[in-house]
Amino acid sequence: MIAIPLMHKTLPDFKPFNQASKLDLMGIILLSLLSGAFIYGVTKAASYQTFFNPETYFWMFIGLAATLAYVWHNYRTNNRTVVPLILFRYKQFAASSVGLFLANMAIMGPMFLLPLFFQNLRGMSAIQAALALAPQGVGMLITRPFIGKMIDQIGAKYVVLISLVLSILGTLPLIFVTANTSMVFISIVLFIRGMSVGGINLPLMSDAYTGLSDEQIPEASIGVNIIENVGSSFGTAIIATVVASVMQNTVTSATHFSGYQAGFLVSAITLAFIFLPGLFLTNKRYIK
């Protein structure tokens, strides 16, 4: 109720970029099916505490079939789909898409894991766990105003690469936390991790539209949102599966800690993979 009048007042009113475009109902159905099938398949892996189970195989097969069907649908309609695959011919869009998928896996997965870690293994209440996460939010808040200026000055490439280093530095210590680890130390680590979040996601999102025409921007926006949402769901499900698999059939608190530590390790490894697409982002220093 509050957001609607604010949006009406602040959002610009502009003409559609492509008034001749039609609703791609088949594309919407196939994208929904493939993303839902992949996510549900990974979720079932968490239930079985292993990726090697018949239900995960089944839903992954459905997701793959839906993906192939969407590729054929895109070819048959000559890229007149809800997310035209021709967008991936643009280097910045392709690199940003891969980076956003991995970034949302690596960032959103631990955001699901950290409250459980504080409550289950540190004995905190829900309110205490929320307060323990505050340093991460403060880090995000402090750096966000400067990210846009940095992107304008040096391009997305170096902003992402520097932020990845910070994020890994803020994730690796979580692999070694124990019941005796100081909360001051954990707060500092979370603050560093929070500082890097905006420096990864914002440049990747902005660089995705580099080189695209006005008519392609709405389609690219849909694609970016789908990639982010699927990546977040994948990250949460995969890290939950890893944690459950490590803690399977164990009762000691030490082994429970190792489960959470494995989840943070997966996040750190995923962050490291983002360096590769990050190398293909815009470098304004090179352009000048």
Domain boundaries, the chain: 23-82, 88-287
The pLDDT tens digits of the residues spanning 123-180 come to 888 899 889 999 999 998 898 888 888 888 888 899 999 999 999 999 999 888 887 8
d(CA 179, CA 148): 39
d(CA 72, CA 79): 10
Question: Which three-class secondary structure state does DSSP give residue 216?
Answer: coil
Which residue type, as a one-letter code, is found at position 156? A
Q: Which fold has domain 88-287?
A: Growth Hormone; Chain: A; (1.20.1250)
Tokens of 286: 């090179």
Residue 220: burial class (beta carbons within 10 Å; 0-12, 13-18, 19+): buried
pLDDT at 259 over 90: no
pLDDT at 247 over 80: no
Q: CA angle, 261 as apex, 247 and 244 as ends, to 5°?
A: 25
Q: What's the pLDDT band for 95 if we cut at 50, 70, 90?
A: very high
pLDDT score, position 189: 92
Of 84-93, 99-108, 169-178, 241-250, the least confident = 241-250
Q: What's the pLDDT band for 288 if we cut at 50, 70, 90?
A: very low
**Alpha carbon distances (Å) from 68 to 52, 79, 82:** 23, 15, 15
Average pLDDT value for residue range 171-198? 89
Tokens of 169: 């530095």
Q: CA angle, 162 as apex, 158 and 164 as ends, to 5°?
A: 115
pLDDT at 286 over 60: no
pLDDT at 252 over 80: no
Mean of the per-residue pLDDT values for the chain?
Answer: 86
User: Could you give the percent of the chain with pLDDT greater than 90?
Assistant: 39
User: Could you give the percent of the chain with pLDDT greater than 70?
Assistant: 92
DSSP string, 149-189: HHHHHH-HHHHHHHHHHHHHHTTGGGGG--TTS-HHHHHHH
Of 214, 236, 209, nearest in space to 97 by CA: 209
